[in-house]
Amino acid sequence: MGKKKDKNRHSGTGITRRGFLQLMGAGAAVSVATPGRASESATGVIGSSEMTKIRLLVNGRGHRLLVEPRWSLLFVLREKLGFTGTKVGCERGECGACTVLIDNEPRYACMTLAIEAVGKEIITLEGLMRGEELGPVQQAFLEHDAFQCGYCTPGQIMAVEGLLRSNPSPSLEEVRSAVSGNLCRCGSYAHIFKAARRAAELRKG
């Protein structure tokens, strides 16, 4: 009776299918493990679990909390203080969804460390409201339908609010420039510009 042919063997190579897969699996494990070790090493350098006591002034109220020095203001506002009107977008300073006011200047919360904001006045979307009443910029966005999906809207509103605090009567070009760092994937820019002009009128009134 002839010897049964090994179905797992690739003809002419001398390597079984099972052996080939085992070799490939070992190689994949090495390739995955290496970045993992590099990541752990990098985390050890740029991050620290040592907590620091800070006090943040948010929307007129002081908040004392423990933070890691590497935590962003975005993370602390949302996850530690509950100000979820500040949205998580790109987390790399490109989309503007996380825009807040720091000393009345629009800033990306994702690119600002929480410890950098100590001693400064932070205003989030929630801070523009008067109880349950919308602020002028929020009201103007509602009147002019200046949003579709609405995800970028908090950042857009904060950018316009920052503009109007420094320039109560902006031109169209100044409005365009002020919101140029805030991306709207729905393309509602024309409505946003109209809302900004309307907000200027409401603030004066």
* pLDDT average per 10 residues of sequence, the chain (205 residues): 45 49 44 36 49 97 97 98 97 96 98 98 97 96 96 97 98 97 96 98 92
Closest CA to 194 of 160, 152, 155: 160
Distance CA 14, CA 89 (A): 53
pLDDT of residue 205: 80
Whole-number pLDDT of residue 14: 52
Burial state string for 114-129 with b = 16 or more CB within 10 A and e = fewer than 16: bbebeeeebbbbebbe
Which secondary-structure segment (H or E) carries 56?
strand 52-58
Rounded CA gap, 84 and 88, in Å? 9
Per-residue confidence (pLDDT) for residue 5, from 0 to 100:
45
Q: What is the pLDDT of residue 37?
A: 34
Give domain 49-127's CATH superfamily. Beta-grasp domain (3.10.20.30)
Its pTM stands at 0.76
The pLDDT value recorded for residue 104 is: 97
**CATH superfamily for domain 129-205:** [2Fe-2S]-binding domain (1.10.150.120)
Range list for CATH 3.10.20.30 in the chain: 49-127
Where are the CATH 1.10.150.120 domain residues in the chain?
129-205
Query: Smallest Cα–Cα separation from 46: which of 72, 65, 66?
Result: 72
